[in-house]
Amino acid sequence: MSNMTRKPREKPAPYKQRSETVTKNKDAPATSAKPHKVTTRKNLTLNDWLVVFTYIDTHPHQSQAKIVLHFENELTGALALSQSVLSCALKRRPE
């Protein structure tokens, strides 16, 4: 067994790198379409949660869905939160 050796093999060539460029269609017509709404979410700050809890305290009989709609439709400083996030925050509120 020791006198049997493997024949030498060639080293593999490096992988071909993919080009990162995206081709744009220059013949496409101009459009005024708006881009989709951004799907990334940002966490609310402590001040934002205090504003939400103050609103909940002043409107005790309003449903969570209506509270979420109120903050989504505010003209200045609309807060992006869902009903499930609001529910979890209300559970943790005594902490």
Residue ranges of the domains in the chain?
Answer: 46-92
Residue 57 pLDDT grade (very low, low, confident, very high; cuts 50, 70, 90): very high
Instruction: Return the number of other C-beta atoms located less than 10 Å from residue 32's C-beta.
Output: 4
Report whether pLDDT(86) > 80: yes
Whole-number pLDDT of residue 58: 93
Residue 33 pLDDT grade (very low, low, confident, very high; cuts 50, 70, 90): low
Mean pLDDT of 54-77: 85
Mean pLDDT of 39-43: 67
- Asked whether 67 and 55 are in contact (CB, 8 A), the reply is yes
Residue 76 CA, distance from chain mean position: 22
